[in-house]
Amino acid sequence: MANPEAPPPGMLRITIEHTPSPTDPEGADELYKALGIMVVAWGRLEGQFVVCLLTLLNLPGGRELGDQLPMPFERRATMWRKAFETMPALQPFRELALTLLEGIKDVAFDLHLIVHALWEAFSSTDPPSIEIVNIKPKNKTKNGLETRRNTVTAKKLRDVAERISQLNLDMAPLSHFLTRYRSSLNPPPGDIRTV
């Protein structure tokens, strides 16, 4: 039986409500909590990744990586790969660094699906869930767009947050090595870049 509230195929429904909403079902707070934890976990992982990149720029050979920290993630990934593939002192960490980069790219994809989606109202499920719609450009389609629907639950958000947190912990030995290595260069390079 068709849901009379569901938009016809090809139509989008925009939910305009205060968040949290008085119409949210019982248990919605668990989804909001899981979403917040996921975002904070991502911020911590991204922060450690950025500090590592800044440290790489300040190592001997760092000028070969570029003049400044790139903003687009793909350029950051290129800098990361180049550092661990070309800097001799980093060779023992190459495999770990490239594995971490793939993990970061994987969770970044999930995170972007979630945070850049159109969020609909809560579904009447137990536990609560929300349908989201992702829209992105796609060549050779009738309207130049691709839409994808996904269901978000607190469990899915907790799973993504756990993967992000694990990557953050897995990066710690590499981060510590970079900090110790940079600190061991005495005196620091005269052209050191600071934030």
In terms of Cα–Cα distance, which of 170, 164, 152 is closest to 41?
164
The 10s digit of each residue's pLDDT in 166-194 is: 999 999 999 999 999 998 886 666 666 66
pLDDT tens-place string over residues 2-57:
444 555 555 667 777 888 888 889 999 999 999 999 999 999 999 999 999 999 99
Question: Is residue 130 within 8 Å of residue 25, measured between CB atoms?
Answer: no
Distance of CA 14 to the CA centre of its chain: 25
Q: Taking the model in full, what pTM does it have?
A: 0.84
Long-range contacts (CB closer than 8 Å, 24 or more residues apart) made by 35-41: 35/114, 35/157, 37/157, 37/158, 37/161, 38/111, 38/114, 38/157, 38/158, 38/160, 38/161, 38/164, 39/115, 41/161, 41/164, 41/165, 41/168
